[in-house]
Structure 1
Amino acid sequence: MKKLIKFLPVVMIAAVLTSCNSVKVAADYDKQVDFNTYKTFAFFKTGIDKAEISDLDKRRILRAIEAELFAKGLIKSENPDMLVSIFTKSQQRVDIYNNNWGWGGWGWGGFGWGGFGPGWGGFGPGFGWNNQPLVSTTNEGTLFIDFIDANKKELVWQGSGTGYLPSKMEKKDERIKEFVSKMMEKYPPGMNK
């Protein structure tokens, strides 16, 4: 039992880090639309300009979307069938885990066992309660990709991906590609059944 209690903090930290690494995706679409009719696309500048992220991140996202659409056989065009827009939301996520069990800290006196002196947590580490919570802060973001019918000017498909956002530039490219790739697995609708 003591070994289990000793390793629970490690398991909790691993669970937090693992949950931060996953991207949760969803898609919604108009069931009346035949997505096979969309062969060409262009980016909808008006919508993209409103996205509240840096121009560098916008370019990263647009390059990733473009690569995914090319891989699906669509062609970029001046006279497109479909317009592509994006928008984002972000929030700081704070997770607090109360760690009210495990090995105690340093202390003096008392009765019982532990440390260099008698007592629960005599002078040295002893068994007791650790009242210091584990606090984890991450930036969580949601990326939305909208596909708009260029002729009707109607939204026909929307993908969303939510997950941890890294602050280091080297990791941003890969993370953005992961967001877009996982969302685009859901386009066109019905292909991944």
Structure 2
Amino acid sequence: MLSHIKKPILLTSVFLVTIISCTSVRVAADYDKEANFSEYKTFAFYKPGIDKAEINDIDKRRFLRAIESEMLSKGFTKSETPDMLVSIFTKSREKVNVQSSGYYPYGYGWGWSPYYWGSYNTVTTTTEGVLYIDLIDANKKELVWQGVGTGYLSQNTNKKEDRMKEFVAAILERYPPGEENK
């Protein structure tokens, strides 16, 4: 008898974890340990790299505006002769989620009714996106820092730009190396 009380609690817990994980951006960063990040004061966007990003031009501009805003807030200056070049790369994949309603062992009378007996599934799709932000030493033309953010994207155009800003802010929070622990 107690087992069908535990099942709704378990399903609710799984649902809440799924919802919470959908709203967050998972971030990782890597960097060249030999680079002196205090030397970088100016930046510009690396057009050849950005042109290869497989997203539409509107979304590219959204990401670039968000990156520019974050870089300026970190004290960088946009320049025609930068110390650092910024590039992006994107990937996305559709995830199909199948959620079972569970089994309802109670029906009305004899026979089978699809409404009261058995189970049913709900199928939804979500888009998981990955944004890479590469920071390149402009003089050496070498990658010195890379941040990666993974999370779910909003299909709602009213929330899309905010979600893109959230991705960029979460990734660039890890720059410069060592600052995220302070």
TM-score normalised by the chain length of structure 1: 0.83
* Partner residue, 2:54: 52
1:38 pairs, out of 37, 40, 43, with 40
CA contact (8 A) 1:92 1:139 kept: yes
Structure 1 residues 186 and 122: alpha-carbon distance in aligned structure 2, compared to 1, 3 A threshold: closer
Q: Which segments of structure 1 move beyond 6 Å, counting only runs of 4 or more?
A: 121-124
Shift of 1:7: 4.6
- 1:103 counterpart residue number: 104
Report the Cα offset of residue 22 of structure 1. 1.4
Provide the aligned length of Structure 1 versus Structure 2.
Answer: 179
For structure 1, the 5+ residue unaligned runs are 105-113
Unaligned 5+ runs, structure 2: none
CA contact (8 A) 1:43 1:84 kept: yes
- Are the aligned partners of 1:84 and 1:145 in contact in 2 as well (CA < 8 Å)? yes
Q: Which residue of 1 aligns with 2:28?
A: 26
SS in structure 1 opposite 2:180?
coil
Q: Which secondary structure does the structure 2 equivalent of 1:192 belong to? A: helix
Q: Partner residue of 2:151?
A: 163
Q: Distance in 1 between matches of 2:170 and 2:158?
A: 19
1:103-144 Cα distance to aligned partner (Å, 9 max, x none): 24xxxxxxxxx444258x789736xx52x3443311011000
Q: Larger C-alpha radius of gyration, 1 or 2? A: 1
2:127 is aligned to 139
Please report the RMSD computed on the Cα atoms of aligned residues, expressed in angstroms.
2.2
Cα distance change on mapping 1:122 and 1:168 into 2, 3 Å: closer
Cα displacement (A) at 1:84: 0.4
More helix by share: 2
Name 1:184's counterpart in structure 2: 172
- CA distances 1:136-164 after superposition (whole Å, capped 9, x unpaired): 31101100000000000000000010110
Distance 2:30 2:43 in 1: 19
In the alignment, what sits opposite 1:72? 74
- Tell me, yes or no, if the aligned pair for 1:116 and 1:124 is still in contact at 8 Å: no
**Which deviates the most, 169-178 or 9-18?**
9-18
| Displacement of 1:97 | 4.2
Q: Does the CA contact (< 8 Å) of 1:5 and 1:102 recur in 2?
A: no
What is the identity percentage for the equivalent residue pairs of Structure 1 and Structure 2?
Answer: 53
Query: 1:90 Cα deviation (Å)?
Result: 0.6
Q: Distance in 1 between matches of 2:100 and 2:121?
A: 4
Question: TM (normalized to structure 2)?
Answer: 0.88
